[in-house]
Structures are given as structure tokens and as C-alpha cells.
Amino acid sequence: TGNSPEHNVQNLEKAGILNKTKISENGKKVSRKNWVPTWTVLHGGVLTFHKDPKPSPGAVLLFFQQNKTNQIVPEFTVELKGATIGWATKDKSSKKNVLELKGKNGVEFLIQYDTESIIHDWHKILKDTIQQLVSP
Ligand code: I3S
């Protein structure tokens, strides 16, 4: 039905440029941070970081309307089911407005944006998506 949790998760969609760096992979700390402004898409319970800073508006439309991702090169996807999101502690980064996203396979990203309203919107939608994906 239209009110099923799956349906609601499908509706949680967002895209934008965020600064991100991977800090762990397979539970192991990466040797060096690499902060990169990254085109970031939340779609169907998956957060995807893209290699290209920003695809053409046409490519974005295709992604959302036809789910054709061929014009957008994904760099990394994080399955949000079983992931955690929260504000990073000061020891993780000297930057302001830093979120820490931990995937269940031992991957950790820091996600950052100077404008508070923007990073707060991302925090909320990621938190809500993760919450909805929790198994009953
Ligand atoms: O956790 P760190 O080592 O303080 O992270 C900083 C470094 O990755 C630094 O790069 P190099 O030390 O390779 O030049 C980056 O430029 C900084 O942005 C990193 O720290 P912040 O606090 O910005 O996350």
C-alpha cells in the first residue's frame, strides 16, 4: 500500500554537493583524509557519492525520473539499513558542521558543509531514513 514503510523510504530523496572524506574502510582507518566536494544522492535507502562534482541537470532528471544512472558515475554507495549517523566529535575534524556516517560493513565517512541549514537538513533526512530502515 501507499503507506508501507518501503513506500515512505522511496520518498526520502535528496541530492546536493557536500564535502566528504572517507575515514575508515572495512573497519580500518584510512591513512589520509581526502576532503572532496562531492555530488551526493539519497535514493531508495542508499546514499551515493559521485566522482563528478555535479552532473548535468539532464542527468539528474534521468536519475530521478527514469532511474537511469548511466550518466552519473558513482564513487561509493552506503547502504543506510544498519548504518548510523551523528555529529562528529571535535577530535574527528577541525571543521564545523561535520557528520559521521558509519555503514554496517565498517566504512566511515565524514560529511561536512559550512551552511548549517543545509547540513541539518541532511542530518534529519539521513536519520529519518536510517530509522525507517530499522527491522521491526
Ligand atoms: O585528521 P587530520 O589528519 O587532522 O586531517 C587533516 C589532514 O587530512 C589534512 O591533510 P594533510 O595533513 O594531508 O595536509 C587536511 O588538509 C585537513 O583538512 C584534515 O583535517 P580536518 O580537521 O580539516 O578534517
Question: In sequence order, what E strands does the chain have?
Answer: 14-25, 28-29, 36-43, 46-50, 74-79, 84-87, 98-102, 108-112
Q: 7-11, 55-59, 124-128 — which is least confidently predicted?
A: 7-11
pLDDT of residue 33: 98
**What are the residues facing 83 on neighbouring strands?**
none
The confidence score (pLDDT) of residue 51 equals 82
Kindly give the distance from the C-alpha atom of residue 112 to the centroid of ligand 1, in angstroms, as a whole number: 13
**C-alpha gyration radius of the chain:** 15
Helices (H), the chain: 5-11, 57-66, 116-133
The mean pLDDT value for 121-132 works out to: 96
Note the pLDDT tens digit of each residue in 95-126: 999 999 999 999 999 999 999 999 999 999 99
**CA distance linking residue 103 with residue 105, whole number of Å:** 5
* 86 pLDDT above the threshold of 50: yes
What's the confidence (pLDDT) of residue 53? 62
Between these two residues, 73 and 15, which has the higher pLDDT value?
A: 15
pLDDT at 1: 41
In ligand 1, which atom is closest to the CA atom of 94? Answer: 22
Of 96, 28, 18, nearest to 53 by C-alpha is 18
Closest listed residue to residue 41, CA positions, set 13, 67, 62, 69? 13
Q: What is the mean pLDDT of residues 39-58?
A: 82
Residue 86 to residues 53, 61, 74, 120, 125, Cα–Cα distance (Å): 24, 30, 24, 11, 12
Is any ligand 1 atom within 6 A of the Cβ of residue 7? no
- What ipTM does the predicted assembly reach? 0.89
Confirm or reject: Cβ of 100 under 6 Å from ligand 1: no
Distances (CA, A) of 133 to 58, 114, 124: 30, 28, 14
pLDDT of residue 120: 98
Give the N- to C-terminal CA distance of the chain in Å, as an integer.
18
pLDDT in tens, 60-73: 666 666 665 555 66
Residue 7 binned pLDDT confidence (cut-offs 50, 70, 90) = very low
Ligand 1 binding pocket mutation candidate from 21, 34, 35, 108 (most atoms within 8 A of CB)? 35
